Amino acid sequence: MIVTQPDRYILQEQMSRYAPELSGDLLDIGCGGCRRYAGYFRHVKTYRTLDANAAWKPDIVGSAEHIPLPDNSVDAVLSTQVFEHLPHPQVAIAEVFRVLKHGGRCLLTVPQTNELHEEPHDYFRYTKYGLRTLFTDAGFRVDVMEQRGKYHSMLMQIRIRHFINTWKPYERRWAMWILCPLSLILTKYALWRDNRTTSPAAALHTIGWCVLATKP
């Protein structure tokens, strides 16, 4: 059983939609131990992972801020929910630009709203304006800037994360039996409300962003 979250639900939709835009030799930066979205990239030529934590057994042990690969050596870069944990994101995005071949693409997701996590290595939250500046300053062309949910999904994400952090369902069976069906209902309801709303005010709130960018 798992606790359903609007964030994860929409992330899966975005990965499914934009994964076909990446091809060739792909580098997954900050994969961690689960390689959560690897299944969306079975079409690429090679799929390598990079993480600073050797315990996760990545293909390449290294930092996103100092990628141990030559210039112009990969066709695509994937990084999901990692850049908020990097103390120097400008350095990291410059490294991504460096290792990508010309015409290579980067697919990146980050939060705009989230609780503190993986402390003390939790440094930033991003708006679309900050992300566009980060990418264009590095030399990228931004092709897609898509938000992840609106007001209702953002609010429900916060509530469900608060339930998780309070009840600890992955440690307590009784909490999982309650929260698993409850979170599914709440997530579906929030997504339904987001899809029906036309309010400009609702669009001012979001869980996070998905960026697809190209190295010219």
Domains, the chain, ordered by start: 6-150+201-214 (3.40.50.150)
Q: How confident is the model at residue 32 (pLDDT cuts 50, 70, 90)?
A: confident
DSSP string, 12-35: HHHHHHHGGG--SEEEEET-TTT-
Q: Which of 186, 130, 189 is nearest to 160 (CA)?
A: 186
Q: Determine the pLDDT at residue 21.
A: 98
Q: How confident is the model at residue 66 (pLDDT cuts 50, 70, 90)?
A: very high
Check if the beta carbon of residue 214 is closer than 8 Å to that of residue 105. Answer: yes
Q: For 149-173, what is each residue's pLDDT tens digit? A: 999 999 999 999 999 999 999 999 9
Q: Distances from the Cα of 185 to the Cαs of 75, 127, 178, 189, 195, in angstroms?
A: 40, 28, 11, 6, 15
Distant-in-sequence, close-in-space partners of 216: CB < 8 Å, separation ≥ 6:
102, 103, 139, 140, 141
Q: For 83-112, what is each residue's pLDDT tens digit? A: 999 999 999 999 999 999 999 999 999 999
State both tokens at 110.
């980050």
DSSP-derived letter for residue 63 is B
Beta partners for residue 110, in sequence order: 209
24-38 as b/e: b if 16+ CB within 10 A = eebbbbbbeeeebbb
CA pair distance 167, 35, nearest whole angstrom: 26
Enter the pTM of the model.
0.95
Mean pLDDT of 176-184: 97
Distant-in-sequence, close-in-space partners of 203: CB < 8 Å, separation ≥ 6:
147, 150, 151
- By CB atoms closer than 10 A (0-12, 13-18, 19+), residue 101 is middle
State both tokens at 58.
């990545």
